Amino acid sequence: MNTPAEAWAFFIDRCKSNLHVVLAFSPIGEAFRSRLRQFPSLVNCCTIDWFTIWPDDALKSVASRFLQEVEMAGDVRERCVEMCIEMHVSARKMSEKFFTETRRRNYMTPTSYLELISTYKTLLGVKR
């Protein structure tokens, strides 16, 4: 690299090769559609990863991990994990029923599940 222009070109090439940007959007609502219309490159020049429903074993693993720091007996913790799974799966089924009846979407996402566990931990702490 003998000149500033060569150094700049090298830098740009390295950025193009190594720079990765992650954008996370909720597909819910008009704001998402509006962004896609404003910035068509989001569809044309990006890789879109759609995340599917977590299986029950993943829900169990996540709840177990987040509840392991809560002081409780092992059998109680296991029942709490099962309760979290049941609540999330039931809410997802009710969301599907809601869509069938009203043609309006309500999404139960992995973030919803994490919020459920966090809320449970917070309420348990207040109750104690």
Q: Which of 77, 75, 63, 78 is nearest to 119 (CA)?
A: 63
Spatial CB neighbours of 68, under 8 Å, sequence gap ≥ 6: 77
Q: What is the pLDDT of residue 4?
A: 93
Which residue type does 105 have? R
Q: What is the pLDDT of residue 46?
A: 87
Q: What is the pLDDT of residue 7?
A: 94
Specify whether the CB–CB gap between 78 and 63 falls below 8 A: no
Global confidence as pTM: 0.66
Q: Other CB atoms closer than 10 Å to residue 39's CB: what's the count?
A: 13
Q: What is the pLDDT of residue 101?
A: 96
Q: How far is CA 31 from the centre of its chain?
A: 18
| pLDDT, tens digit only, all 128 positions of the chain | 789 999 999 999 999 999 988 888 877 778 888 999 999 998 898 888 877 889 999 999 999 999 998 999 889 999 999 999 999 999 999 999 999 999 988 888 888 999 999 999 999 989 88
Instruction: Tally the C-alpha atoms within 13 A of residue 107's C-alpha that lie toward its C-beta.
Output: 10
Residues 120, 73: Cα–Cα separation, whole Å: 16
Q: What is the pLDDT of residue 122?
A: 94
Helix (H, G, I), strand (E, B) or coil at 112: helix
